Structure 1
Amino acid sequence: MESVLILLALALPIALGGLWLSVLVPADTLARTPLIWSHGALLGLVLVPQFLWLQNALGLTLSFTLPALVSTILILTASVILLRRTPISNRTQPALRALSKMTAAQKWLFMLLLILLIVRLALLGTEVFLRPLFPWDATMHWATKAKVWFEYRSIVPFTDNLSWLQAFGEGVFTDRHPNYPSTIPLLQVWMNLAAGEWNESLMNLPWLVCLAALGGAFYSQLRIAGVEPTLSMVFTYFLLSMPLINTHVALAGYADLFVGAAYCAALMALHNWVCGKQAWQRVLLILFALCLIRLKIEGYLWALLLAPGLIVALAPKHAVIRLAGIGILCVIGLVVFRQVAPESLHPFLQQFTPLSMKGLMGIIKSVFLHANWHLFAYLLPMVAALSLLLPLSVLKTYRGIATALFASVGAFLFLFLFTVFSLGSANFTGVGRLSIQLAPGLMFLCALLSNAILVRQVWPAKGTGHR
């Protein structure tokens, strides 16, 4: 019975998000099946914990039954809407048409990579299923709340150490980050409520679902962006085989994988909305920006830094207007971030320090030397350099997503080079975790540019002096 309920706890968020996206996304959308179920799974895994939060806000005891009932009602509502729609007839599935155009070698490579990814997910699943909660931050910052809230069946308050001492520990609890958003701990509570007991292995199964959903979302948005199936699968394999991302599934419990998936989903929706103007891509952009805010403190920053990309891509073609818009946005962003960031973070942000050479070396080692990202740190600069040979009209296509990522990488470098957070790169404790939040988005841009380079064949042909 426990296994059935655990599967139900995983199935409900996936069905909830997937079916409502089925209502939203047109039936003739390219790669629609992986698109709706992968994005739906990510959205559902963030949404269901909000049902638990609402349940607690209404003064009710946390339980599995009520959120499951609400999810079921919403699933049935979406199903009824879908069944009432007139089926589309005489239309060949775009995915089948694309696959039929592939050569035999491309089909074999596609299937080989797909099988390798399935095997990888299965092996990671055994790690999650058999290993108890292990990582340091998972036990010190996240599962502390999950354990207490599960035992009390209530979202009892967490405070800083001083407030906890002043209250003599009566009615309040403390950990290293009491002001972290509640979504990840509540997701673990959701799984344990389904199991009926505290289970440090089963409660981490959503991390496996998150990785699979990230892969499906990545592949489907590449297809919508015009990348052919085999190359899309190649880059999906590149992404899902990254060692540090895999480690955050095998040693589940951190929020960074979810933040990276949500940020990548928002970036992909931003790019494809700017290019294709599909209204549902705009909805995905908004939804995943909201997800970022509910996942981790850094999510506020990444959500905010999506805006420069939108300004550059959509604002009138006047540099002054764009710069003014970005400047005003930065001022507003700093004010908002200062308000939402926990008080414990303010001293770090206020203490500007000169360039930390130890922090710089830590970033270089983590990104270029350690076995965290395979050869991605070498691939991306090479692809970026080759992309400069593309016509300006082609490069303009990527200015929105490139601007957003440039702003985010800039914030990342500032944090680890010019604040006391440089200690987190010097000793490799923080730089890897934050890299996970940006790596999927950077891989998406790398895939887009690689496709453009291959399609345009930007290198000079033999015997010619031009493209």
Structure 2
Amino acid sequence: MLAWLVLRWAGIVLEVVYRPLFPWDAWSAYGMQAKVWYFQSNFEQFATGMRWFQVEGPTWTAGRSWNPPGIGLIQLWSLQALGHYDDALMNLAWPLAMAGTGLVIFGTLRMVGGSLLVAIGAVAAVLTLPVLNTQAVLAGYGDIWIGLYLLLATSGGVLAHAFGPRWLLVTGVAVAGMLMIKETSFLWTPVLALGLVAGWVRFRWILLLAVLGFLGFCTFLWVYGDPIRVSTLGRLGFGNDGFVWPAKINVDAWREIVMWPALLRHLFVYPNWHLFWFLVPGLVLASCWYALRARVFAMMAIVTWGGLTLLLGFFSFSTLGNAVLDGTSVNRLLLHLVPAIGLLGGLVVLRWQGGLIQELRI
């Protein structure tokens, strides 16, 4: 199995080097940034929208340049390591991100006492997914990086339970890296924070923290006085017409109805995920059962299933549901959570075998 995974990964590397694909999002923003920064030898600020008209003198502009600069910086660092500009080789980091995903899952499971078979099985379940393989070839998209960083963050939480709080440093570094990739990273940060808190405090304190956080957010929106942009979902906050919520903005009623069958087709019919989502219902039940007895499973369940519930809510009640109907972003957004779900699956198997009690001190 390990040899097959290595062979598959080598084929993806060859695809990136000899038959590179240039996704639209990547070359409308990030690839341009890396090229400008490499040849200009300074960190030029890109302007987009009305800001381009407001800047005095010449300036660079590119589509979607409002996103954080993480992807462009990854390509720039690759070019600096190469010593010359190459629009194919600068994307070698994407297959490396795929390999890193497997190494994090493998290393975490082995460190907490998992057998070689369980660790490799969890890695294979994630690395063989067609969506993940496609994202490793479509260098320039940031979704595989968000999945990797979110996996690293949850792995740091697991290792903190096993070996002490110092491993939370891994979580902090991973969150910082995730926030540098795309604005959708901000969607997972509060879910991850709630999960980490759940791993260390009692449930009543979690509930109190959630209530205080909600009230604090509402207070911020009230004081700010103008609805703020919430990613691709629209605007959220208090305006002249009262509370503005992005739900149902430009979303017809029929779209809300047909979104669910379309989502189920993406998960269970189309060849995007093999049989991965068929295993998820059983994994949900098992992990929630163990979460009642072990804090580490409570943390992982909140991050994975809480994140999935949040994403399904956005699919159902906002313009993001259009991404399900036209098939543009639905699988890429789900990919953010899949590596962490794969790690949770490995932990569930270890707990079922009885080999996780001593290592995680639960």
The answer to whether the superposition gives a TM-score over 0.5 is yes
TM norm structure 2: 0.83
Residue type matched to 2:121 in 1?
V
Q: Which amino acid is 1:413 matched to?
A: L
CA deviations 1:445-464 (Å, max 9, x no partner) are: 122123323449xxxxxxxx
SS at match of 1:453: helix
Supply the distance in 1 between the matched residues of 2:336 and 2:105 (Cα, whole angstroms).
14
Q: Does the alignment pair 1:385 with 2:273?
A: no
Cα distance in 2 between the residues matched to 1:188 and 1:123: 21
Name the residue aligned to 1:327: 211
In the alignment, what sits opposite 2:346? Answer: 447
User: SS state of the match for residue 184, structure 2?
Assistant: helix
Deviation at 1:367, TM superposition (A): 1.8
Write the distance in 2 (CA, Å) between the matches of 1:140 and 1:328: 40
Q: CA separation in 2, counterparts of 1:303 and 1:279?
A: 19
Give the C-alpha shift of residue 152 in structure 1.
2.5
> Is contact 1:261-1:440 (8 Å) kept?
yes
Partner Cα separation in structure 2 for residue 306 and residue 391 of structure 1? 16
Structure 1 residue aligned with 2:322, among 423, 432, 437? 423
1:153-210 CA-partner distances (Å, limit 9, x unpaired):
3322222323324559x42233332221112101212222344443111000011111
Q: Quick one: structure 1 residues 304 and 392, their matched pair in 2 at CA, closer, same or farther if it must change by over 3 Å?
A: closer
Counterpart of 1:206 (choices 75, 79, 93) is 93
- Letter in structure 2 aligned against 1:421: L
Which residue of structure 2 lines up, in the alignment, with residue 352 of structure 1?
A: 247
- Alignment partner, residue 273 of structure 2: 373
Q: Say whether the 8 Å CA contact 1:182–1:295 is kept in structure 2.
A: yes
* Alignment CA distance shift 1:357-1:215 (3 Å): same
Instruction: Establish whether residue 174 from structure 1 lines up as the match of residue 61 from structure 2.
Output: yes
% identical aligned pairs = 24
Contact 1:311-1:325 within 8 A present in 2 as well: no
Taking the aligned partners of 2:177 and 2:264, their CA distance within structure 1 comes to 30
The SS at the match of 2:98 is helix
1:302 aligns to what?
A: 188
After superposition, the Cα gap between the structure-2 partners of 1:330 and 1:219, relative to the gap in structure 1 and judged at 3 Å, is farther
Deviation at 1:307, TM superposition (A): 1.5
1:405-455: per-residue Cα shift (whole Å, max 9, x none)? 232112211222211121111111111111111110111112212332344
Q: Indicate yes or no: 2:48 matched with 1:148.
A: no
* Structure 1 unaligned regions, length at least 5: 1-112, 457-467
Residue 76 of structure 2: aligned partner = 189
**CA shift for structure 1 position 133:** 4.2
Q: Which residue of 1 aligns with 2:51?
A: 163
Tell me which residue corresponds to 1:219.
106
Please give the residue correspondences for 1:26-45 in structure 2 after superposition, counting only pairs within 5 Å: none
Q: How many Å separate the matches in 1 of 2:348 and 2:113? A: 11
**Which structure shows the higher helix fraction?**
1
Q: Which amino acid aligns with 1:136?
A: W
Match of residue 144 from structure 2: 257
**Residue 246 of structure 1, aligned match among 133, 136, 140:** 133
Q: Given the superposition, is the C-alpha separation of residues 373 and 454 from structure 1 closer, same or farther in structure 2, using an over 3 Å criterion?
A: farther
Report Cα offsets for 1:35-68 as digits up to 9, x if no partner. xxxxxxxxxxxxxxxxxxxxxxxxxxxxxxxxxx
2: CA distance, partners of 1:226 / 1:215: 17
Q: Which amino acid aligns with 2:86?
A: N
Look at both structures and tell me which one has the larger radius of gyration over its CA atoms. Answer: 1
Any idea what the Cα deviations from partners look like across 1:254-285, whole Å, max 9, x if unmatched?
11111100101101211231x32523311111
More RCO (CA 8 Å, sep 6+):
2
In structure 2, the CA distance between the partners of 1:368 and 1:331, relative to structure 1 (3 Å rule), is farther
* 1:406–1:428 Cα change, 3 Å: same
Q: CA deviation at 1:150?
A: 2.6
CA RMSD of aligned residues (A): 2.8
Which consecutive residues of structure 2, in runs of 5 or more, have no partner in the other structure? 237-244, 356-362
* TM-score, scaled to structure 1: 0.66
Residue pairs, 1:43-122, within 5 angstroms: 113-122=1-10
CA distance in 2, matches of 1:367, 1:272: 31
For 2:60 and 2:266, the matched residues in 1 are separated by 35
CA–CA distance in structure 2, aligned partners of residues 270 and 391 of structure 1: 14
Give, in angstroms, the shift of residue 343 of structure 1: 7.8
Specify whether residues 387 and 152 from structure 1 end up closer, same or farther in structure 2 by C-alpha distance, changes over 3 A only. Answer: closer
Listed one character per residue, the Cα deviations across residues 217-267 of structure 1 (whole Å, up to 9, x for unaligned) are 110111223322211111111111111111111221111111100101101
Partner residue in 2 for 1:106: none
Conserved 8 A contact 2:195-2:303? yes
Count residues in correspondence.
337
| One-letter code aligned to 2:101 | L
- Relative to structure 1, the CA distance from residue 229 to residue 151 in structure 2 (aligned partners, 3 Å threshold; closer, same or farther) is same
Query: What is the letter of the counterpart of residue 407 of structure 1?
Result: G
Distance 1:282 1:388, change over 3 A: closer
Is the deviation greater in 130-139 or in 204-213? Answer: 130-139
Distance change (3 Å), C-alpha of 1:314 and 1:193: closer
Matched residue SS, 1:200: coil
Name the counterpart of 2:308.
Answer: 409
- CA–CA separation in structure 2 for the residues paired with 1:416 and 1:194: 40
Q: Say if 1:348 and 1:420, in contact at 8 Å, map to a contact too.
A: no
Change (3 A) 1:391 1:416: closer
Q: Which amino acid aligns with 1:129?
A: V
Q: Supply the distance in 2 between the matched residues of 1:437 and 1:292 (Cα, whole angstroms).
A: 10
